[in-house]
């Protein structure tokens, strides 16, 4: 890491699961950071020296240290914070709805607030994952209109995708190369200088903002398509007496094969969302594989329930428990979780649905309109269990405690089949029949 620029002020707009760790990292480099957020509770928590994000190792300590040293503060007033800053990092969510329509409202609002406070010489960097061309054709005009300044002449604009995994943000900030592309060469150079100043990781400049935007969409779409391939292969192999887990393990012993884990579905803010950023402006003849991959992965919840229905003789009136509402293990995040599709489709099939997730309170699960299971009870009466998220507490379950249990569907390929069979139940999974 290069020596930090003394007294440089950085505004980080958006103090979510990526923005707050990034703000703490920048503060650790010696810069003064003002974090901006629209949530008063988030601002108050940060200013008290704490993190509102509980699942990120080391984050609470990093925030406490930065606040105590006067290197980090938070505010609701983005315009005022930007007016004091030499660098602005924008990282607020771009969402998609159930019909895959892209919602830019949070990004647009934050961009206008930045533009209102923007001053000459400032470097604005977007880290929010966006469709290709967004930085140049959406952010730049909005900033220019709000600030009455010109990009490339009065201020600089670049895109640098966040490349972190929840639960290990600080590690990822150290090891993954930081990709940076500006709307012009000088914007790229200034953004590269900033990241080399605050990160230990390599910083890779690319030709332009579009290349940087596309790099993030390509890497997440690769994972989505690979998971879809794994799901298709698992279903094919499982119908032909193949031990799918053994076959995948054997295939991956060759360095050119990297088959992913098949599963009951793909969730989170990234993998099920970002392919739609590519598909939004793709022609009918483009991106056939990503389009098919999305369709396959979205269908895996229905595949699981079809398998259960076959074993149970239908789902109507059956008591079925979904273990894990989070989209993945040990992370408190429900966005696009496969559990949502499972619960919705179970309700539609007439099942009596139970859910459990140790990371959420009953109030937080109330919207699912399902019975909250109590795993501390000596006996839990259910006919089927679907493991959707492999949380730590599920890894040594006593299946005999589930009274009346007939079937366990292993949605993540992690349960010991013999433990299930030893309790007198059938073991199912993706590509695994009874």
- Mean pLDDT of the region 289-307: 97
In this predicted structure, the answer to whether residue 7 has a pLDDT above a threshold of 90 is no
- Mean pLDDT of the region 123-133: 98
Q: CATH second-level architecture of 9-207? A: 3-Layer(aba) Sandwich (3.40)
Residue 360 — very low, low, confident or very high, per pLDDT cuts 50/70/90?
very high
CATH of domain 300-429: 3.40.50.720
Taking only the tens place, the pLDDT of each residue in 47-78 is 999 999 988 899 999 999 999 999 999 999 99
- Mean pLDDT of the region 126-142: 98
Identified catalytic residue from 31, 178, 216, 426: 216
This prediction's pTM: 0.92
Q: What is the pLDDT of residue 100?
A: 87
Residue 1 — very low, low, confident or very high, per pLDDT cuts 50/70/90?
very low
Higher-scoring residue by pLDDT: 2, 282: 282
Q: What is the pLDDT of residue 391?
A: 96
Q: What is the pLDDT of residue 255?
A: 93
Vertex 238 angle, CA 291 and 261, to 5° = 55
Residue 216 a catalytic site member? yes
Residue 17 a catalytic site member? no
Domain ranges of the chain: 9-207, 300-429
Identified catalytic residue from 31, 270, 310, 406: 270
Q: What is the mean pLDDT of the chain?
A: 95
Contact call for residues 262 and 413 (beta carbons, < 8 A): yes
Taking only the tens place, the pLDDT of each residue in 188-220 is 999 999 999 999 999 999 999 999 999 999 999
In this predicted structure, the answer to whether residue 293 has a pLDDT above a threshold of 90 is yes
């Amino acid at each position: 890491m290069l020596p930090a620029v003394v007294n440089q002020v950085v505004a980080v707009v958006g103090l979510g699961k990526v923005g707050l760790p990034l703000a703490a990292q920048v503060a650790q480099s010696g810069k003064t950071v003002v974090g901006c957020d629209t949530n008063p509770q988030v601002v108050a928590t940060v200013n008290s020296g704490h993190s509102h994000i509980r699942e990120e190792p080391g984050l609470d300590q990093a925030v406490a240290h930065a606040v105590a040293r006067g290197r980090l503060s938070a505010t609701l007033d983005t315009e005022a914070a930007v007016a004091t800053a030499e660098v602005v990092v924008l990282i607020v969510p771009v969402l998609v709805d159930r019909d895959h329509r892209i919602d830019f409202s949070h990004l647009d609002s934050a961009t206008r607030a930045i533009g209102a406070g923007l001053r000459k010489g400032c470097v604005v960097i977007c880290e929010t994952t966006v469709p290709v061309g967004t930085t140049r054709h959406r952010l730049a005009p909005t900033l220019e209109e709000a600030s009455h300044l010109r990009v490339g002449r009065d201020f600089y604009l670049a895109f640098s995708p966040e490349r972190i995994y929840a639960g290990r943000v600080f590690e990822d900030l150290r090891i993954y190369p930081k990709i940076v592309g500006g709307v012009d060469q000088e914007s790229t150079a200034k953004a590269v200088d900033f990241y080399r100043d605050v990160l230990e990781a390599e910083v890779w400049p690319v030709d332009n903002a579009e290349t940087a935007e596309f790099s993030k969409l390509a890497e997440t779409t690769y994972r989505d398509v690979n998971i879809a391939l794994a799901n298709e292969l698992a279903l094919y192999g499982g119908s032909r007496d193949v031990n799918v887990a053994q076959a995948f393990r054997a295939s991956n012993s060759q360095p050119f094969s990297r088959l992913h884990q098949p599963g009951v579905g793909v969730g989170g803010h990234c993998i099920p969302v970002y392919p739609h950023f590519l598909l939004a402006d793709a022609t009918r003849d483009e991106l056939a594989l990503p389009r098919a991959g999305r369709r396959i992965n979205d269908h895996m919840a229905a595949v699981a329930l079809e398998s259960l229905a076959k074993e149970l003789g239908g789902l109507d009136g059956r008591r079925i428990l979904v273990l894990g509402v989070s989209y993945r293990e040990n992370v408190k995040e429900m966005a696009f979780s496969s559990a949502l599709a499972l619960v919705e489709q179970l309700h539609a099939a007439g099942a009596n649905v139970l859910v459990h997730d140790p990371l959420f309170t009953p109030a937080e699960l109330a919207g699912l309109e399902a019975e909250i299971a109590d795993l501390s009870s000596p006996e839990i009466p259910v006919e089927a269990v679907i493991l959707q998220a492999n949380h730590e507490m599920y890894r040594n379950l006593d299946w005999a405690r589930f009274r009346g249990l007939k079937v366990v569907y292993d949605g993540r390929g992690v349960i010991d089949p013999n433990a299930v069979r030893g309790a007198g139940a059938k073991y199912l999974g993706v590509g695994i029949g009874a």
